[in-house]
Amino acid sequence: MLFKRKQPGAAVRAVQTAERSSNFSELDSYVPLCAGERRLYDAMREAVPLIDAAICKILRLVGGFTVSCPNRDSERELNRFLQTVQVGADRRGIDSFLSSYLDQLLTYGNAVGEMVVQGGRLRALYNASLDDVELRAKSPLSVEVCRRENGGSVPVRYPELVFCSALNPPPGSAQGVSILRGLPFVSRILVQIFHTVGVNWQRLGAVRFAVTYQPDPDAADRAFSRERAEQIASEWGRAMRGDSVSDFIAVGNVSIRAIGSDVRIPDSEVPVRQILEQIVAKLGIPPFLLGLTWTSTERMSSQQADILTSELEAYRRMLNPVILKICGMWLRLNGEAQNVSVDWDDITLQDATELAAARYQNARAEQIEQTVRSGRPEPSGSSAAAPDTT
């Protein structure tokens, strides 16, 4: 046979639906990590405590994990390494590393980390600042991490030790989307309302008075009206001193009125709640976890907890590749090649009790089905209710 028959898909060597490279390939492949946008998100977390509290709640609720592998000795040593590995200059444990990594990922949409190898051993983990790195899309299926130096960017020497993640990147892009996107507008309104409330209370909370002196129509009183006005002002200032208590006595037609006493401060409860609802909906945290005592039923709170659980599971799935890469590097550097699995802790005790109750009900149902199929009488106590899981 002179010509071999081509196998389907054998000629595929690149992504066919990707954009063709142009003469400015370096510019086209650059993934912008805008410093101004990052500063905006930092300012939002500083100005709106609710946003910062929600992200911190997510970091804590993600929880911890253990890793397992076929060799029990290697598993024990690997878990000890993950608990004691140095992170940055002053932290220990992979939990600290993943907390900073996820914080960066949620706030900015991208996160970069590095494994530090010294003497043929994995010694430390490092959270890279996005101000110090750039990302380049080498191809539609790979991203190159570069470090900034001398006004340019240079690819890292050992890319196998560096990893990056993107949060919900648009199709065809390696730039992630911050969880805070869409909130600058409502956050600006909220900060403006709080600022206005503070200014109004500064003006109206510290009561100011308007003292008006009306001279009598006779010429003698009008001749000394200036001196009497200065005397009234002096006596009023002495009476209003904070270090002493004194009475104010005036003669003549003198009226005293509190400035702004007839001004009504606009009610901010409704607009503030509407804005907070938008923020809570975007961050995916139930209101009761943030100290918002909004009216909700027990069933609604349970449903919100279930939704939060699914959100946390999604964040865990994004962290799994990072954990597996770190564990795989440690095993290879120690001369082992094993499969590693990540076992996350239960998110809450409530989830653990509900899972236990579900297993109990399934076991009871299976026992009853076996009894019915065998024709034997149902064992005593089969009608007992499930244990209370509250």
What's the mean pLDDT when you consider all of the chain? 79
DSSP-derived pairing of the beta strands 110-118 and 121-128: antiparallel
CA gap 172, 10 in Å, rounded: 24
Strand pairing category for 152-155 and 142-149: antiparallel
Residue 92's DSSP bridge partners are 86
Which of 325, 45, 278, 279 has its CA nearest to residue 163?
325
In the structure, what pLDDT confidence band is assigned to residue 355 with cuts at 50, 70 and 90? low
Residue 125 DSSP one-character state: E
Strand runs labelled E in the chain? 30-31, 65-68, 86-87, 91-92, 110-118, 121-128, 133-139, 142-149, 152-155, 162-166, 209-214, 253-258, 341-344
Q: Which of 188-192, 345-349, 370-374, 376-380 has the lowest mean pLDDT?
A: 376-380
Of residues 255 and 107, the one with the higher pLDDT is 107
Q: Which residue has the higher pLDDT, 46 or 295?
A: 46
Please compute the mean of the pLDDT values over residues 244-250 and round it to a whole number.
70
Residue 296: what pLDDT? 59
- Whether the pLDDT of residue 2 is over 90: the answer is no
Residue 88 pLDDT exceeds 80: yes
Residue 322 pLDDT grade (very low, low, confident, very high; cuts 50, 70, 90): very high
Residues with Cβ within 8 Å of 256's Cβ and at least 6 positions away in sequence, in order, are: 209, 210, 211, 212
Cα distance between residue 31 and residue 81, in whole Å:
34
Residue 59 has pLDDT above 80, yes or no: yes
How much is the average pLDDT of 169-179? 83
Confidence of residue 150 (pLDDT cuts 50, 70, 90): confident
% the chain with pLDDT above 70:
77
Read off the tokens for 222: 């009008």
Query: Which tens digits make up the pLDDT trace of 21-31?
Result: 444 444 445 45
CB-based burial, 344-369: b 16+ in 10 Å, e otherwise: beebeeeeeeeeeeeeeeeeeeeeee
Q: What is the pLDDT of residues 298-310, one digit of tens each?
A: 555 666 667 788 8
In this predicted structure, the answer to whether residue 7 has a pLDDT above a threshold of 50 is: no
Beta strand pairing status for 121-128 and 86-87? parallel
Average pLDDT over every residue of 369-382: 68
pLDDT at residue 54, as a whole number: 92
Reduce the DSSP state of residue 45 to 3 states and report it.
helix
User: Domain extents for the chain?
Assistant: 25-181, 209-258, 349-390
Higher pLDDT, 212 or 130: 130
User: What whole-number percentage of the chain has pLDDT above 90?
Assistant: 20
CA separation for the pair 222, 227 (Å, rounded): 10
The pLDDT of residue 141 is: 77
φ/ψ bin of 115: left (φ > 0), alpha (ψ from -120 to 50), beta (otherwise): beta
